[in-house]
Amino acid sequence: MEKFKRSERLVAITKYLVDHPRALISLGFFSELFTAAKSTISEDLVIVRDTLDSFGMGLLETLPGAGGGVKFLPQIGQDETARFLYELSEKLSQPERIIPGGFLYMTDLLFDPAVSNKVGTIFATQFAHLNPAAVITIETKGIPLALMTAKALNVPLVVIRNDSRVTEGSSVSINYVSGSTRRIQTMSLPRRALAKGSRVVLIDDFMKAGGTAKGMLELLEEFEVQVLGVGVLVRNVDPTEKLVTDYFCLLDLAEIDEHQRKIKIRPTVQ
């Protein structure tokens, strides 16, 4: 049987844990994989745990007993979060991001895996203790952020659509009023997308008045699920009174002046 060096095992173990966040993995699995004694694997895991902790990359949780094992819990520290959000706000403050109508162009960053992965880890760190069973978002720009949040939490992603799809079977649809445009719009979710009583978190990319978030909450009432929290990347500070009140936001858009080509966006003080 092939024998692996400790350095090789450490790399492979870390890669496997990171690829399977919050999954319980037995010592026996690694023992068989590397043809190594469980005591040796335990020593390897101590090194992995201490390294992850030293660099603020997450926690390695050990569960004792016959049915135990280890879980990798992706986390991001306050200092790294603050540094990342400051850098992201600097990128979003570039005048060329202002598009006609006084809107802020964010699509390139939202669909950048490095950015969406970091944002997803921040949201996962915020909501992990609530033990959600799914992450919910509405198409389209919030999908990358919600997907990375779901990945870090190791739960499914459910996408609310702007209309029903024949290929998804019977759906529940509601009309809602956009808080920003005051237009009546429609959102839809297949009946089989969520089990009754599911515990979920909502993730969205932008909030102005909160009409979309309120619509999602009202739609989910039809499924009798428990919404544990709402995460938003950017909120417009105006209007100050939102249609939803309980949410976790990362960035505040304080001003966008199309004529003076000026944007003021900053990390939110929680």
Q: Which of the four pLDDT bands, split at 50, 70 and 90, describes residue 45?
A: very high
- The pLDDT of residue 210 is 92
End-to-end CA distance of the chain: 54
Residue 192, classed as helix, strand or coil, is helix
Q: Which of the four pLDDT bands, split at 50, 70 and 90, describes residue 50?
A: very high
- The pLDDT of residue 168 is 82
- The pLDDT of residue 167 is 77
Backbone angles phi, psi at 26, to 5 degrees: -80, 155
Percent of the chain residues topping a pLDDT of 90: 80
- The pLDDT of residue 177 is 80
Give the model confidence (pLDDT) of 58-115 as tens digits: 999 998 877 789 999 999 989 999 999 999 999 999 999 999 988 999 999 999 999 9
Percent of the chain residues topping a pLDDT of 70: 97
Burial class (CB in 10 A: 0-12, 13-18, 19+), 16: middle
Let me know how long the chain is. 270
Please give the Cα distance from 190 to 194 (Å, whole number): 8
Mean pLDDT of the chain: 92
Q: Which of the four pLDDT bands, split at 50, 70 and 90, describes residue 2?
A: low
pTM: 0.91
Give the model confidence (pLDDT) of 218-264 as tens digits: 999 999 999 999 999 999 999 889 999 999 999 999 999 998 999 99
> Token pair of 259, please?
């004529």
- The pLDDT of residue 149 is 98
CA angle 100/102/105 to nearest 5° reads 80
Listing DSSP states for 119-158 in one string gives HHHHHHHHHGGG--SEEEEETTTTHHHHHHHHHHHT--EE
Does the pLDDT of residue 49 top 80, yes or no? yes
Structural domains in the chain plus CATH codes? 6-74 (1.10.10.10), 78-267 (3.40.50.2020)
